[in-house]
Structure 1
Amino acid sequence: MGAPAQAVADAKAYLRIDGTDEDALLATLAGAAIGLCERFTGLTLLSAARTDMVAACSPEWQRLPATPVSAIASVASLDPLGVASVLPVEAYAIDIDAAGDGWVRLTGPIAASRLQVGYTAGIAADWPSLAEPLRQGVIRLVAHLYAHRDAVDDAGPPAAVTALWRPYRRMRLA
């Protein structure tokens, strides 16, 4: 998923850039900054439909990789060739816990080693709905990456970026 157009527009305004010459670069930098924010916080920022694979370990619960999950739409088994077969509802159980983690487990044995799960995950429906500290951290990181591209003496992103993101950080034990 590319960076939202509004994120690029916000970064351009922050950097005081007029015109469209730098739009492609800023979109790439915004996409990277959003990805880094998601890795740092452990949260998916913008709500989107996803499809991920989890192990088909009956009867153990398997956590979906993205969070917070708002809906789990489908569960399918994958054969050794990767062909998906939608499972009947009674063949699996799903749950979304209070922390927003999505969980799937098989309720009986099936001949598959992986499950393909379709679900929706993300904090906000769109860029303007995202919490201001998360947006500002992304914009500041885009500005840093833009200003320091190819700089050998770059000391890394400003501390303000992590300070803005830290309250949203979720730690998980593996």
Structure 2
Amino acid sequence: MEAAITAAAAAAADYLRMAAADRVLVRAAAAALALAEAFCGQRLIERRFDQPVVASPDWQLLDEAPVRAIVAPVDGVALDIDRGGIGWVRAAATGTVSYTAGLAADWATVPAPIAQGVVLLAAHLFEHRDGRGEPPAAVAALWRPYRRLRLATAVQR
């Protein structure tokens, strides 16, 4: 994730016509990436997650999406990733499941509208360090097609 933050900060520096990103712009880029993930409801950059699961005959939903791969360190675990990138686990014993989730492998493969929204928001946060001014409306418009919403916390499969 650090490499993606650095790359996003460099893209924001280019947008702002700066020679290089300073610490403030790097923090703004990190915040913009985190806000993009929160708004879109999915992880943008692929990374590893560990999630505890309880022994149950029911399928359990993994917290992060889109899931790329699931690793079950113990026997008796059924795994599934549906076509929407939602991960499911059914465990015969309580334990921890490791998995990778993320829309893109790195900053270079993040869809262009999401990346542009991150750059715009990072530039806005940098330029409005005093907290004044509304974020550009274009940011939400760029991210909206990639937004995933969950309608309920308890999901039956």
TM range (shorter): 0.7 to 0.9
The verdict on how the C-alpha distance between 1:18 and 1:32 changes in structure 2, with shifts beyond 3 A counting, is same
- How far apart are the structure 2 equivalents of 1:31 and 1:94? 32
- Local SS of the residue matching 2:2: coil
Aligned ranges for residues 162-173 of structure 1 at < 5 Å?
Answer: 162-173=140-151
Task: Say if 1:61 and 1:105, in contact at 8 Å, map to a contact too.
Answer: yes
- How far apart are the structure 2 equivalents of 1:66 and 1:162? 21
Task: Say if 1:2 and 1:27, in contact at 8 Å, map to a contact too.
Answer: no
Residue 17 of structure 1 aligns with an amino acid whose one-letter code is M
| Percent identity between the two aligned chains | 48
Please give the TM-score of this superposition, normalised by the length of structure 1: 0.80
Task: Say if 1:3 and 1:28, in contact at 8 Å, map to a contact too.
Answer: no
Task: Say if 1:94 and 1:105, in contact at 8 Å, map to a contact too.
Answer: yes
1:3 Cα deviation from its structure 2 partner: 5.5
1:66 Cα deviation from its structure 2 partner: 1.1
The verdict on how the C-alpha distance between 1:3 and 1:53 changes in structure 2, with shifts beyond 3 A counting, is farther
- Local SS of the residue matching 2:56: coil
Residue 131 of structure 1 aligns with an amino acid whose one-letter code is P
Task: Say if 1:3 and 1:27, in contact at 8 Å, map to a contact too.
Answer: no
Partner residue in 1 for 2:155: none
Residue 17 of structure 2 aligns with an amino acid whose one-letter code is R
1:52 Cα deviation from its structure 2 partner: 2.5
Aligned ranges for residues 1-174 of structure 1 at < 5 Å?
Answer: 1-2=1-2, 4=4, 5-19=6-20, 22=22, 24-54=23-53, 56-74=54-72, 86-88=73-75, 91-106=76-91, 108=92, 110=93, 112=94, 115-151=95-131, 154-174=132-152
Residue 136 of structure 1 aligns with an amino acid whose one-letter code is Q
Residue 68 of structure 1 aligns with an amino acid whose one-letter code is P
Task: Say if 1:6 and 1:127, in contact at 8 Å, map to a contact too.
Answer: yes
Please give the TM-score of this superposition, normalised by the length of structure 2: 0.88
Task: Say if 1:3 and 1:31, in contact at 8 Å, map to a contact too.
Answer: no
> What is the root-mean-square deviation of aligned Cα atoms in Å?
1.6
In structure 1, runs of 5+ residues without a counterpart are 75-85
Residue 31 of structure 1 aligns with an amino acid whose one-letter code is A
